[in-house]
Amino acid sequence: MAVIDELRTVAERMNADPEPIRSFQHVYQFDLSESGSFQVKFRDGRVEVSEGTPDTPECTLILSDANFEKLLRDDLNTTMAFMLGSLKVEGKLGLALKLQEALKHYSN
């Protein structure tokens, strides 16, 4: 499954059960080494996924496609990845941590 498809699957889960993300009002960007850039916009308990960079992100995560897939599955030790440089965060680090907690709820 392509990375964008996995991201859209997680977004569908979030939209089906929005309570854990109801307070999110943020734009996240993912810059992936192989697949390019994607954005996830959270507004009023809804999630929208976009290819490219249509909005100004508050938090950008830069990582490999493989680590992104692990992040979506809650299978990435983000602290270790950050310390080793395989995950870079631009913008508000607190938002990255908030996103990780939300992803835990929706991972399979």
* pLDDT at residue number 23: 92
Strand order of the β-sheet with 59-63 is 46-51, 36-43, 27-32, 59-63, 87-91
pLDDT at 42 over 80: yes
Residue keyed to tokens 């996103």: 99
Q: Is the pLDDT of residue 1 over 80?
A: no
Q: What is the pTM of this model?
A: 0.92
Domains of the chain: residue spans and CATH: 3-103 (3.30.1050.10)
CA angle 57, 63, 64 (to 5 degrees): 135
